[in-house]
């Protein structure tokens, strides 16, 4: 007998929360609830079946409901966490009484939770809930328009494979699974760093040969950083690895590639730094500072080191690609 779920909720009615919520509502299997602190977005969804702030003019499935009332989360079996990493833990603590301990928490955010701890590690410290993470090459605009999209579900125990697979069965969401939950989380942060690097390269040279030379160097260093932080080699070849990295590094819809393009053209200023959501800059700082506690970053992870110097020193950006090319790899 097919398992029947209680309500499925997504905390966050931004682009990814709305997109996945709309896909799940379209299956007709479950009651799908979007929880948001933005009352105008909630009203927009419930009254007009649109989210004009994030998807203007796009009609949403009428089965998708929204609420500002966190108490409605108390009967949910699965809750997807679709709010920015920088506010994730503080917000969840304010509604902790509304999160049943048996509810599966699925992290969609890409970023650190606190310091160098991943969001999953922070969730495990603060909550008794089972947790997993879901990451992949996934622009929300593509998802909501029902383009096939891949995600990796990272888990420890118990395995959520059947539970999560059942939710997305028959949709445009394709899943693979990894028991390397730390690796899945780390890769979703690392790819932002190397997307900046590819943006700088493409801003200065319109050369496919050079682009994929640097892409290969970046992918090799990602592997070394991943292993240094406790992840596994094979995770690189899940959707969360090679797929998410290349999407972020090579597509102009990527914020971090855009940051690299701005840096490479000489347009990066403090004003731009405050206006953009700069996951790549934050991630570079965290990885550099953690690695430097035990070794010279410049010797072992020179691309991260080069980018760190751009963010923190007077730097001749015209020499960036030459500096990358001088890196000898063993």
Kindly state the greatest CA–CA separation across the chain: 64
Neighbour-count burial of 2, counting CB atoms closer than 10 A to its CB (0-12 exposed, 13-18 middle, 19+ buried): exposed
**Dist CA 68 CA 330 (whole Å):** 54
Which pLDDT does position 271 carry in this prediction?
58
Mean pLDDT of 249-268: 91
Q: Is the pLDDT of residue 81 over 70?
A: yes
The separation between the first and the last C-alpha atoms of the chain, rounded to the nearest angstrom, is 54
What is the band of 276 on the pLDDT scale with cuts at 50, 70, 90? low
What is the band of 329 on the pLDDT scale with cuts at 50, 70, 90? low
Tell me, what DSSP letter sits at residue 170?
Answer: T
Q: Is the pLDDT of residue 214 over 90?
A: yes
Q: Give me the domains of the chain, ranges plus CATH numbers.
A: 7-179 (3.40.50.720), 183-325 (1.10.1040.10)
Mean pLDDT of 4-18: 86
Active site residues: 191
Q: Is the pLDDT of residue 294 over 80?
A: yes
Which pLDDT does position 247 carry in this prediction?
97
Which pLDDT does position 209 carry in this prediction?
98
* Nearest one of 222, 232, 230 to 196, comparing CA atoms: 222
Which pLDDT does position 4 carry in this prediction?
44
Cα torsion 106, 246, 186, 281: sign: negative
Mean pLDDT of 263-274: 73
**Dist CA 48 CA 53 (whole Å):** 13
Tell me which residue has tokens 């999160």: 99
Mean pLDDT of 213-242: 97
**Dist CA 262 CA 71 (whole Å):** 43
Torsion angles phi and psi, residue 54, rounded to 5? -110, -30
4: Cβ contacts below 8 Å, ≥ 6 apart: none
Look up residue 253 and give its two tokens. 């819809």
Model pLDDT for residues 83-132, shown as the tens digit of each residue: 998 899 999 999 999 999 999 999 999 888 888 899 999 999 999 999 99
Mean pLDDT of 20-40: 92
pTM above 0.85, yes or no: yes
DSSP conformation letters of 17-73: HHHHHHHHHHHSSS-EEEE-S-HHHHHHHHHHSEETTTEEEEEPPTTEEEES-GGGG
Mean pLDDT of 304-328: 92
What is the band of 3 on the pLDDT scale with cuts at 50, 70, 90? very low
SS3 143: helix
Which pLDDT does position 273 carry in this prediction?
57
């Amino acid at each position: 007998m097919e398992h029947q779920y209680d309500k499925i909720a997504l905390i966050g009615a931004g682009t990814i929360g709305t997109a996945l919520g709309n896909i799940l509502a379209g299956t007709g299997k479950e009651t799908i609830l979007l929880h948001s602190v933005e009352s105008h977005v909630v009203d927009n969804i419930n009254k007009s079946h649109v989210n004009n702030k994030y998807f203007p003019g796009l009609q949403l499935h009428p089965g998708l409901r929204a609420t500002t009332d966190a108490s409605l989360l108390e009967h949910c079996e699965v809750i997807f966490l679709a709010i920015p990493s920088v506010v994730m833990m503080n917000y969840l603590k304010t509604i902790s009484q509304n999160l049943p301990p048996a509810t599966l928490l699925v992290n969609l955010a890409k970023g650190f939770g606190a310091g160098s701890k991943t969001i999953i590690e922070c969730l495990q410290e603060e909550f008794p809930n089972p947790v997993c993470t879901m990451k992949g090459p996934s622009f929300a605009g593509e998802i909501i328009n029902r383009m096939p999209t891949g995600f990796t579900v990272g888990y420890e125990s118990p395995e959520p494979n059947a539970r999560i697979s059942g939710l997305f069965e028959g949709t445009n969401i394709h899943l693979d699974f990894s028991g390397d939950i730390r690796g899945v989380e780390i890769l979703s942060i690392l790819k932002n760093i190397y997307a900046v690097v590819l943006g700088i390269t493409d801003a200065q040279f319109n050369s496919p040969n050079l682009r994929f030379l640097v892409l290969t160097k970046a992918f090799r260093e990602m592997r070394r950083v991943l292993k240094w932080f406790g992840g596994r080699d094979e995770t690189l070849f899940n959707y969360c690895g090679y797929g998410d990295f290349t999407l972020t590094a090579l597509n102009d819809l990527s914020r971090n590639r855009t940051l690299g393009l701005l840096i490479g053209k000489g347009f990066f200023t403090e004003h731009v730094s405050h206006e953009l959501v700069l996951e790549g800059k934050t991630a570079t700082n965290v990885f550099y500072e953690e690695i430097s506690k035990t070794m010279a970053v410049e010797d072992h992870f020179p691309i991260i080191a080069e980018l760190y110097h751009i963010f923190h020193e007077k730097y001749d950006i015209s020499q960036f690609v030459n500096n990358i090319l001088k890196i000898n790899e063993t």
